[in-house]
């Protein structure tokens, strides 16, 4: 779905479960998926698309595409120079190690396609956050006691792979439904969420604010 459009770009609401590239099972990446919709005349914009940034496969949110090479170059420069405000909303069942603040550190790849935060800060990932608590009452729990969940608003200043998910794990509050970083945390809550048959099982959403090119 297109959520914003001007002469230079379009912004689409990327659903969870669609990656940037074709995955190992042969499922189309987001660009291939949009082009197939264009071919079937099921997408309102018919012109060329130039990707300028990415969102994790399991995350939903605004994804920008430039309409021209010039606009793509301008947008990528804004991302590179960090002239972009990105915000994410995530849900966790874990109580964080602090109520608000910043998670900062270098990131390194580990086994099983995961990443971890290091104590060094040579080229650090930087994520600011605040959070609040709420109770999950729907669907009802078997024991009648609604579990306490945490709602996070996160603002990454950098754009590292899995940055938000790693930051949440480091706070002892992995994102609910995150198969890589949450493990068996909040298993009972996860089962209750599955009853809703939600297509967005990883509880994370993204939005973006950027000065837009006009062509």
Distance between CA atoms of residues 129 and 117, nearest Å: 16
Alpha helices per DSSP H over 1-155 = 30-39, 69-80
- Residue pair 151/89 in contact by the 8 Å Cβ criterion: yes
Residues 6+ apart with CB under 8 A from 208: 11, 61, 62, 64, 84, 85, 86, 87
Annotation marks residue 143 as catalytic: no
Q: In degrees, to the nearest 5, what angle opens at C-alpha 112 toward C-alphas 111 and 118?
A: 45
Nearest to 177 by CA among 16, 24, 22, 53: 16
Contact 90, 204 (CB under 8 A): yes
Choose, from 23, 56, 138, 190, the residue flagged as catalytic.
Answer: 56
CB 81 within 8 A of CB 116: no
What is the C-alpha separation between 87 and 210, in angstroms, rounded? 12
Bond prior to 205 in cis (omega within 30° of 0): no
Q: Which two tokens mark 156?
A: 């990454």
Q: Which residues are catalytic?
A: 56
């Amino acid at each position: 779905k297109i959520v914003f459009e001007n002469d230079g770009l379009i912004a689409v609401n990327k659903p969870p479960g669609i990656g940037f590239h074709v995955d190992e099972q042969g499922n189309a990446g987001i660009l291939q998926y949009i082009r197939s919709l264009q071919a079937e005349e099921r997408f309102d914009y018919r012109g060329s698309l130039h990707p300028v940034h990415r969102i994790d496969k399991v995350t939903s949110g605004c994804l920008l595409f430039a309409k021209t090479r010039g606009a793509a170059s301008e947008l990528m420069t804004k991302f590179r120079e960090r002239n972009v405000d990105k915000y994410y909303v995530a849900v966790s069942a874990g109580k964080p190690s602090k109520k608000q603040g910043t998670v900062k550190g270098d990131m390194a790849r580990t086994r099983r396609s995961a990443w971890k935060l290091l104590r060094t800060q040579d080229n650090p990932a930087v994520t600011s956050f605040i959070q609040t608590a709420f109770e999950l009452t729907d669907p009802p729990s078997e024991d009648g006691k609604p579990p306490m969940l945490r709602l996070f608003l996160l603002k990454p200043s950098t754009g590292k792979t899995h940055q938000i998910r790693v930051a949440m794990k480091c706070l002892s509050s992995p994102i609910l439904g995150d198969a890589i970083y949450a493990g068996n945390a909040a298993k009972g809550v996860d089962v209750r969420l599955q009853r809703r048959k939600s297509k967005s099982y990883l509880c994370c959403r993204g939005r973006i604010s950027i000065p837009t090119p006009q062509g």
